[in-house]
Chains A and B, each alone.
Chain A
Amino acid sequence: MTYKENARKYIENYDLSIGDTVKINKEDISYTGILLDRPEDADDGYLVIKLSSGYNIGVAIENTTAELIEKGDKPKIGYDEEEIPHDPSKQDISIVSTGGTVSSVIDYRTGAVHPKFTASDLVKANPELLDYANYNVKALYNILSENMKPEYWVKAAEEIANDINDSADGVVIAHGTDTMHYTSAALSFMLKTPVPIIITGAQRSSDRPSSDANINLIDSVIAAKSDIAEVCVCMHGSLNDRFTYLHKGTKVRKMHTSRRDTFRSINAQPIAKIENKKVNINPDYSYTKRGANKLALNTDIEEKVGFIKSFPGISEEYIEYHIDKGYKGLVIEGTGLGHVPDNLIGSFKRAQDENIPVIMTSQCLYGRVNMNVYSTGREILDAGVISGLDMTPETTYVKLCWALGQSDEYSEVKEIMQRNIAGEFSEKSSIRDFLN
């Protein structure tokens, strides 16, 4: 029960429980309905009543009396677990949930939405899944995507490696969308994979009929069965429920707060378009084929990495603070080609002196960092700052965490940052790769 203080006392005083049918008497009207729980951020002076018409209303408890009409049954949520048939002619796909709701069950009696994540739930909500594969489903953890931490990337990578060792033919990871591109980059660096690893999610929650979850999930399963043995993000390719894109895990970014087609390949094209249950691979794209790599797991990671956005008037204190606090590396989101105000350059030198690698990226997102063009850029380079090339700032941040997990040495970290590990940068900037 999330009722607080006054409301809580009131409920306890009348010996009521959530789910009971109650009658609240006010001076000139009374309301009869089911007592519901209240969202946590709401006022303690109100009760939530679900009327027989299905509507919820809030009733101010001041000057009211309550009576119990009927004790409510404890709501039973979810269905009975059912055995999912195993078809030996189909591939085995492992589905891992990190939170977010790929399937939800609505308890219409109380109006509550319960995220569900057992294989049986998933198949009940998306029965057409059975047409494509056999499933091994597990909930790894249940967190909001914004609460993701580097340590969870490690756990996910280990779990996926286990599944692949257990002969999964492909892995689908259900993930909240906010930090999906950080996780996709992390898994790209941590895992060498012989099978597809597909990360997906939904921009509209799965408790609504218009949710994009079903299409994204089905297409992810189809991608997981494909020949593309890479870490990819699979999400809606347009506002239509018509096709999804498969983006390279290191070249993708969430670009809109709410649209379904929020994920875009940055400084790259999608690997494939999935339409009508078929994977159409971009012919210009050379991808790692199924079975080409042996499974390898490298989850060594340094979590103490700073991520700083430059802005007009930024003080060097931002840099000094991170050095003072013992940060092991810094990613800067500079302006334009990779610049910061020149008052920061002294602090960059100090970082270099203290063996702290600093990587420069651009808040333009599109295009390549090049610090040779203007004098400030050259001074920044001279201060030991390493170019993030055409990587997204987020991928650069994840890569630096991983690189610092591999080595403490500035020069070795620099070498790793400039070596292409998982297709995170390209040499060539294509005329097509902008705002699409």
Chain B
Amino acid sequence: MDYEKLGLKMGLEIHQQLNSEHKLFCPCKTELVDDNFDELVQRKLRPTQSELGEIDRAALQESLRGLNFKYENFEKHTCLVENDDEPPHSLNEEALDICITIACLMNMHIVDEFHTMRKQVIDGSNTGGFQRTGMVATDGYLDTPYGKVIIESLGLEEDAARRVETKDGFTEFRLDRLGIPLAEITTDPSMHHPDQVREVAYMLGQILRSTNVKRGLGTIRQDLNISIAEGARVEIKGVQDLDLMAEIVNREVQRQLELIDIKNKLQDRNAEVLDEIHTLDELFEDTESKILKSAETIKAVVLKGFDGLIGREVQPGRRFGTEIASYAKKRGVSGIFHSDELPAYGITQEEVDKVTEFLNIGEEDAFIIVAHDEDIAVSALEEVKRRAALGLEGVVEETRKALDDGNTEYMRPLPTANRMYLETDIPLFKITSERIRPIASNLPELPDVKQARIIEQYSLSEDLATQLVKRQEADMFEAILADVDVDATPVASLLAYDLREIKREGHDINILTLDHFKGIFTLLADGKIAKDSVRKLAIETIKTPDEDIADIAEKSNLTMMSEDDVAKIIADIVANNEGMVKERQMGAMGPLMGMCMKQLKGKADGGMVNKIVREEIQKLI
């Protein structure tokens, strides 16, 4: 694809959970809970009105759905603040300081005063009906291999409650995640190539990980803003896998191109969405279709000039009809039937013909059927009409969800910028230069800088240094070497590679502390254990973490033998093979080494064994 010609523009929005001890506006811990809840509270939300009675577009959309929620409260892990039964406490300054660190690392301008805002969100994920959020810094940049990327803004906000399930008209949320501080980083939409987006997302992730943020699944969420010249801005939520980024971009570009083509065809045909909603109950009285038979009513709308276009693929496996259906689904139906796919689903050609005649469907026309309860069917068809009509305008601005295969699915309209107002329960917070200075002069090292320094300082291979930094083991590596005078390479390879394998074998590597590592490598430095034994000793230490490392090594038979003992064993082995030595002279070196190492592995240094074997052979020849 010629991205430049298409006018492809992309921006990133990254949400990263911060690893502060407490939540943003209450003293609860920032940890998720898997226990059973202690209290379940039922709530409703109503969209509030803005001036002139205008309710925000996205808020209105949500309000049309049932707004009944249940919230799982935990006596130990949540408090009245999350349940919206106590005003928020003061701003968590630890979280703010983490954001100031991030802002400095991205060359941003920190605001003079932080104002907490309420952003209306009435999907239930915030008990108050709004998310608390504020602007920490603006106008930064990042140097990337593809040029400079502008970081527009850095926000500090509350994470939302976790959705558990939707049933019986209620959506249930768990309050453990609500209020965990999130940094929201927004780039400008100036990226033009999918690889660049991937690279920038990676770099941002690396910067964030050099600060005190949460690690692991679900702690970072990437959203992608994307548009092409003739298309429209679409926000794709929840891109988990960076490697999927390019595929998502390609498929979204494809979708927008298809929708533009559909628009052109519709305009050529003077297509039109007819307003009337028809009832087809009589036509389907004797239908064999299970879905239709079980529905309270069957209704349809006519789309003039849409024939063949509803079935048109816009992304692999997704049709224009899928786009229309995803709007209808927001009104509670499980799907729609459109004329491009019929007969199917138990609906016969004969029935299709009857509908075609009844609705007076012309050559180029199409129809869409919905079967459900009266209210829901009508409401779903209103959405069908709305989305179909938007097809005449091309690409629709919307928020979409990233699917695992690289496709995307409609979630809701794009939020308008104006749904924010001041959170009056929280005082304005001045960010003074006295606050910023100590943070700015003590910034964490960025991953690439750290990597270069480690290679230089410890004479490590680039591969080991890269892995140490990538796996966030560099700090541990340096802490060990600060106290133990030992060769850096075995330390690095334990941390960078062996630990991962040990974990894979089912051992809990989190048990190992700095003191454990120092103990292990002190033994190595003192020649008490062999290099080869480090990995084994680490495993044994995990099993009995409270014991003295030297004792563990001893018990596990990992301690090296004295040179005299080693010499005795080797002398015995050589003596037992005198014939071979006599016959092959120095050529016996290889086989003898093998025999000795088999017996002495982990108990004697290979170099020493080599030296003694050589001496013993020379004694005989």
Contact = CB atoms under 8 A, between A and B. Distances in A.
A208 B115 contact: no
Interface residues of A, number: 52
A60 B129 contact: no
A258 interface: yes
B421 A46 contact: no
A71 interface: no
Given A51-B135, A59-B112, A112-B421, A79 B117 contact: no
Contacts of A57: 111-115, 135
Interface stretch (B2-10, B50-58, B608-616): B50-58
A259 B130 contact: no
A208 B155 contact: no
A241 interface: yes
Most buried by B among A48, A208, A239: A208
A204 B84 contact: yes
Interface string A52-75: 111111111000000000000001
B519 interface: no
A242 B42 contact: yes
Interface in A181-199: none
Contacts of A207: 48, 421
B364 to A, nearest CB: 42
A235 B428 CA distance: 32
A54 B135 CA distance: 10
A384 to B, nearest CB: 44
Interface residues on B, range: 35 or more
B44 A241 contact: yes
A213 to B, nearest CB: 9
Interface string B111-141: 1111101111010000111100111001100
B115 A76 contact: no
Contact of A54 (B42, B117, B127): B117
Interface stretch (B27-35, B202-210, B224-232, B412-420): B412-420
Contacts of B45: 209-210
Interface string B129-159: 1100111001100000000000001010000
Interface string A75-92: 111110000000000000
Contacts of A354: none
Contacts of A28: 109
A308 interface: no
Contacts of A313: none
B83 interface: yes
B430 A210 contact: no
B41 A53 contact: no
B422 interface: yes
A411 to B, nearest CB: 47
A59 to B, nearest CB: 6
Given A54-B119, A111-B421, A209-B45, A105 B50 contact: yes
A31 B115 CA distance: 15
Nearest to A259: B85
B46 interface: yes
B41 A239 contact: yes
A108 B55 CA distance: 10
Contacts of A56: 115, 117, 135, 420, 422
A106 B118 CA distance: 11
A29 B48 contact: no
Interface in B77-99: 80, 83-87
Nearest to B62: A209
Interface in A230-250: 239-242
A64 to B, nearest CB: 10
Most buried by A among B112, B138, B153: B112
Nearest to B152: A53
A108 B44 contact: no
A208 B85 contact: no
Contact of B112 (A51, A58, A113, A242): A58
A31 to B, nearest CB: 8
Contact of B430 (A58, A215, A259): A58
Contact of B53 (A58, A79, A258): A79
A125 B49 contact: yes
A111 B420 contact: yes
A244 B341 CA distance: 51
B70 to A, nearest CB: 9
A51 B39 CA distance: 40
Nearest to B84: A210
B371 to A, nearest CB: 30
Nearest to A75: B51
B131 to A, nearest CB: 11
Contacts of A258: 80, 85-87
B319 interface: no
B47 interface: yes
Given A56-B115, A59-B113, A242-B42, A105 B422 contact: no
A366 B127 CA distance: 33
B43 interface: yes
A210 B129 contact: yes
Contact of A53 (B111, B114, B118, B135): B135
Given A29-B139, A208-B48, A54 B128 contact: no
Nearest to A62: B112
Contacts of B153: 53, 55
A29 B140 CA distance: 11
Given A54-B117, A55-B135, A258-B80, A109 B430 contact: no
A124 B86 CA distance: 28
Interface string B13-44: 00000000000000000000000000101111
A39 interface: yes
B115 A106 contact: no
Interface in A83-117: 104-109, 111-113
Contacts of B49: 105-106, 124-125
Contact of A239 (B47, B83, B113, B129): B83
A340 B336 CA distance: 76
Given A29-B139, A43-B430, A208-B130, A54 B420 contact: yes
